[in-house]
Structure 1
């Protein structure tokens, strides 16, 4: 392919990536080192009580934002504060105080570290479950009778088709208050059950929902990969006396390893930005995530102000966490690619 043809082929995609990914990323990075505040002024405000003959008026001085007479908007100033926004988010002074006092539980009372704890657990615990459940469904469908494959595939894909917020709300209404499943459990156990009254039960439901929602995606990928398994190798393993588990471990899983890494990459990036479950399960009082924390910083307070600088710092810390989690899968992918490239060069240079 000529360079000119290649350029016009990739130019639209590169332009869109620079416009909608790179430019906002640079903007967020810059904003994490800035603080934008309204310009305040002191004005005299006269307050009068109702009435005519008995009316009394008092004058007091209040601090209010300065309004631009031409546009009607609040006048703001932007100043560089360095790493102050990151310090405000991390609150390392409280962390060191908790470590020095031996009260490590107090660290989880800080919003960022509480959100980080849940985000990491949610990401790392659901990953093996999604891969395992997806692989089991793919193996079951692959070995099922032809008449059953269609209905099983249809039922298995339903959770993945449902919009994430709608799916989380569905699970929420099944267990909240006198939901169908909660009422059934209460009749079975004879005890009152409140699934959303404590953090650990909410987290269990979130883990269940994420696996239920994402496992069909892994199933589709693994099912496609199973169609390319070398049947000669599989039959040779059967002849050598390998049982089902041994064939799965030494033949099927190594063949599917690139797909496992691909699913792991997608899952890590998606789960580390968990947000829909927090909103759907209404768990802000017990469980929060890093993505929800950023959203909370951007929510206007009673005065209409938003903590944009802290939101930008939280976003950058979230991205750093995603990069750290992706290092191991990417290293494995690069090592496999480099090894395959070396094998190809060796085979080409090998004397015939």
Structure 2
């Protein structure tokens, strides 16, 4: 392929990536070192109340923001260095909790509480998504052609549903007197409240993520199963290999690049978990790093937003994603170099 042809194909993608990914990322990085604050002024305000024979007046000083000629509050930008990161991480409190082996105290800090849930959510759902997707793919691949189409259609339905709508649907099944809650209460003959404690909400969120994402893994694995060398499988059958041995020693090694690909996609997506927090209304029990960033951007009672803290939280989230992806990227790079040799 000629260089001009290659540039014509790749150029628009690179431009859009620089415009919508690289530029905002650089902007967020710099914003994490600066803080924007309104400028205040102290004014004397005289308050008078009616009285007899004369009114009573009291003069007091009040602090109020300065309003510019455009009608907006005047703000100032100040360089604070790593102060926003310290405000998010709260290293003094975190170190004190770790030194005393008081993990409950550590989890009272919003960032570490969100990090604990995000890591647990990501690392627990990863093998479940891969296992469920591979299981569905193997079952569909071995099913008769008559029922293969309906099975594929039903298997893809969870992936088609909008994430927030799917999370709300699962929540409505279990909240209050939902259908599943009523069934469990009937089966166990006791009152059940799935949303009264955090661990049950966390399990429901993990169940929803696996239910929602497993069809994506299924599609990828099913496509990979169509490329398995049939001669190798027949040789394994002749040698007396069982179904499990054929799966372990023939199919899974063949699908390993796809397993790495799904792991990369899932790690990047699950580490930014947000829809489940909103759909299950779990803020009182469980929060994620992505939700923490959103919370910093939510205006307070005075209308101010913690943009600097939100930027610091976003950068810490990105660093966490990179740390999780490094082992898989190193494996991919080694396999690539080994394949070239």
What TM-score do you get using the length of structure 1 for normalisation?
0.93
Once the two structures are TM-superposed, the CA of residue 58 in structure 1 deviates from its matched residue by: 4.5
- Please give the alpha-carbon distance, in whole angstroms, between the structure 1 residues aligned to 2:51 and 2:176: 50
Q: Can you list the C-alpha shifts for 1:153-176, whole angstroms capped at 9, x where unaligned?
A: 011000000000000000011101
Deviations 1:13-65 (A, max 9, x none): 11111111111000000001111111011223455669999986654322121
Separation in structure 2 between the aligned mates of residue 311 and residue 73 of structure 1, nearest angstrom:
23
* TM-aligned CA deviation for residue 5 of structure 1: 2.7
Q: Shift of residue 95 of structure 1? A: 1.1
Q: Which residue of 1 aligns with 2:30?
A: 30
98-107 or 30-39, larger mean C-alpha shift: 98-107
User: CA separation in 2, counterparts of 1:288 and 1:46?
Assistant: 46
Distance change (3 Å), C-alpha of 1:62 and 1:138: same
Unmatched segments (≥5 aa) in structure 2: none
* 1-structure distance, mates of 2:50, 2:263: 67
Q: Could you tell me how far apart the structure 1 residues matched to 2:46 and 2:194 are?
A: 52
C-alpha distance in 1, partners of 2:249/2:302?
Answer: 62
The superposition leaves residues 136-190 of structure 1 with CA deviations (integer Å, 9 ceiling, x where unpaired) of: 0000000111111111101100000000000000001110111111111112212
Could you say what the CA RMSD is over the residues aligned between the two structures, in angstroms?
1.7
Quick one: distance in 2 between partners of 1:11 and 1:105? 51
| Structure-2-length-normalised TM-score | 0.96
1:247 pairs with 2:267: no
How many residues are paired up? 341
Find the counterpart in structure 1 of residue 111 from structure 2.
112
**Cα offset for 1:337?**
0.8
1:304 — aligned with what? 303
| 1:287 counterpart residue number | 286
Task: Give 1:176-195 correspondences, 5 Å limit.
Answer: 176-195=175-194
Instruction: Output the CA distance in 2 between the equivalents of 1:274 and 1:59.
Output: 53
Distance in 2 between the 1:114 and 1:295 partners? 15
2 CA distance for matches of 1:152 and 1:52? Answer: 87
Is 1:73 the counterpart of 2:83? The answer is no
Unmatched 5+ stretches in structure 1: 343-352
Q: Distance in 1 between matches of 2:171 and 2:49?
A: 49
Q: Counterparts of 1:1-352 in structure 2 under 5 Å? A: 1-47=1-47, 58-69=58-69, 71-342=70-341
Aligned equivalents of 2:272, 2:92: Cα separation in 1: 26
Instruction: Give the secondary structure class of the aligned counterpart of 1:228.
Output: coil
User: What is the deviation of 1:341?
Assistant: 0.6
